[in-house]
A and B are shown apart, each in its own frame.
Chain A
């Protein structure tokens, strides 16, 4: 069977898509919050360090696997490690799909608040009540549908006319909106106190292990490394295309967006609130900060509803550009099984809408899924490192990364990071997050139906892993049976 495989029309199309994948809501609503809660300047050091010790090496591994195998996550693991490891690719694919189910709900919330900023200028005056009434109504369901339908339509149009065109618009617009936000926030009275807080280093904090683990967690979640998304985009790379430099551009671009978001949000909080109150706002969780505190703060500034709309439009663009990469990842897995893109996307869109419904209707379910599959991504990252280790990191680097067209060769540092650092980081992270979960719920941490328990992770992970391991042979043959032979379009 020979079919035409689309490729990105240019390197810039691929880079914009990679930036769209990496820059998501986590850059805007999580980074400023976590940076503020962990001492500002001191936190930035581990956050930046782990970009090079976790995110960029994993992006390189993903690029290498996708480009060399030309399969989505399941096929890539089966091809690189052998058929008996297909379940690992299935895990990576499922974990990201499980995030896609509720991520579409987040994109829907952003759309709703963007519209609310235009139509209803009073959101900020009663933001907590507005949020409660919105999330307890059926409206999130409608906006979840719109977000999923929009994302699916973009993917339906294909790689060049869909993903590339969308990101060519979304990413520059996102950066533009964030920069407008920075200009507005820095011109508020007292705003520089926030900048001072964000960058002031308290060196003693570097002795606190928590700062390092928060920096690693933020870097791991924020760049999208180890999610299988860049692997999917790499399927559509040209043969003579760079891997290492593109990984650096995606990783550094992601951190740029985080810093810009930090400069747009933290000074606003410090301008209108006393220091303790500002820290309280930052401690109110992702949704608490974005949907309750920020509308309240925007309401206090001149032209606040306009800036609220800008902020939620930026959040929507960030969420949408990441959502489409998740939809494409899922679509690619089904396409590898022989389905045509249009059929696959109808399937993925429908499944995504249906399985996102519980998160759209219940914040408790949403938080549970965010906890379980967010942490599951650490396992996905580890699986990518294991794939490179099994193949041989030196062999991986020389045969699959430093190939013709690669602009910046990966050196021996890559071997050490993938072989030693990533397994160590993974082990420490999982132990730390589980220890934290036990301290949050000392008596109920083992219960499988609690929102943030260790038990709920083990139950859901165990169930999914058991299914994939039992059906491994079938998964491998369904993916590889077509023995597809594709040529570049």
Chain B
């Protein structure tokens, strides 16, 4: 694979998948906080 393609793979695919997984993790954390607040 060409270097340019490898960089794009990391930036675009990494950005999209990373962004998706990161937003899911943030959502999980926020849900936990909401549940804890509801309990207290």
Contact = CB atoms under 8 A, between A and B. Distances in A.
Interface in B3-39: 4-6, 8-9, 12-13, 15-17, 19-20, 23-24, 26-27, 30-31, 34
Contacts of A201: 4-5, 8
A248 to B, nearest CB: 5
B23 A196 contact: no
A330 B17 CA distance: 32
Contacts of A252: 16, 19-20, 23
Interface string A192-212: 100110111100000000000
Contacts of B19: 248, 252
Q: Interface of chain A, helix or strand or loop or mixed?
A: helix
A408 B25 CA distance: 13
B17 to A, nearest CB: 6
A249 B1 contact: no
B12 A48 contact: yes
A34 to B, nearest CB: 15
A228 to B, nearest CB: 24
Residue of B6, B13, B23 with most chain A CB atoms under a 10 A cut-off: B23
Given A252-B19, A259-B16, A259-B17, A196 B1 contact: yes
Interface residues of A, number: 27
A199 B8 contact: yes
A15 B23 CA distance: 12
A477 to B, nearest CB: 39
B12 A248 contact: no
A195 B1 contact: yes
Contact of B31 (A11, A41, A198, A248): A11
B27 A245 contact: yes
Interface string A11-25: 100010000000000
Please give me the 3 A-B residue pairs with the lowest Cβ-Cβ distance, nearest first.
A252-B20, A199-B5, A200-B5
11 contacts: A48-B16, A195-B5, A199-B1, A199-B5, A199-B6, A199-B12, A200-B5, A200-B8, A249-B23, A255-B20, A259-B13
